[in-house]
Amino acid sequence: MQSLKHNNFNDRRSNAATARQAMFDKFRTQPKPDDPAVQERLAAQKALADARDARRAERKAALAAEAERVARETARVLAETTALKAKEAADAAALAQEQAERFVHLEAEKKARALATAAEQKAIRDARYAARKARKR
């Protein structure tokens, strides 16, 4: 289908030239880099970037401080745990030593009682033997 408006080559060429001129005018009306408005906008962008970098550095420092605090806390807890385990081991060793000494003491008492009982029984037996000998005579 053909368009209703019959454009010839010259119309198309003039339309293209008009569009090019409009684009060129639009480009030319943009502010130059030395314009105060552009300088102000660039300064604002730089201030925002600097603030962003400062916040990033602040966050990084805070994370490093937190990591250091956590490391110190972990070391402290580890040291406390190690000291507690060492104390528990020392207490267990002392208890085992005390129980061993008590066992040795009880065994010695038991042996002494057994010897005393044996001596007492021997004395009773000797007394009976002596009484029997005395009756026979």
- Tokens representing 93? 């060793």
- What percentage of the chain exceeds 70 in pLDDT? 96
Average pLDDT over residues 106-130: 94
Average pLDDT over residues 111-120: 94
What is the overall mean pLDDT for the chain?
A: 91
What value, to the nearest 5°, has the Cα angle with vertex 44 and ends 38 and 45?
90
| Three-state SS at 26 | helix
Question: What is the end-to-end Cα distance of the chain in Å, rounded?
Answer: 166
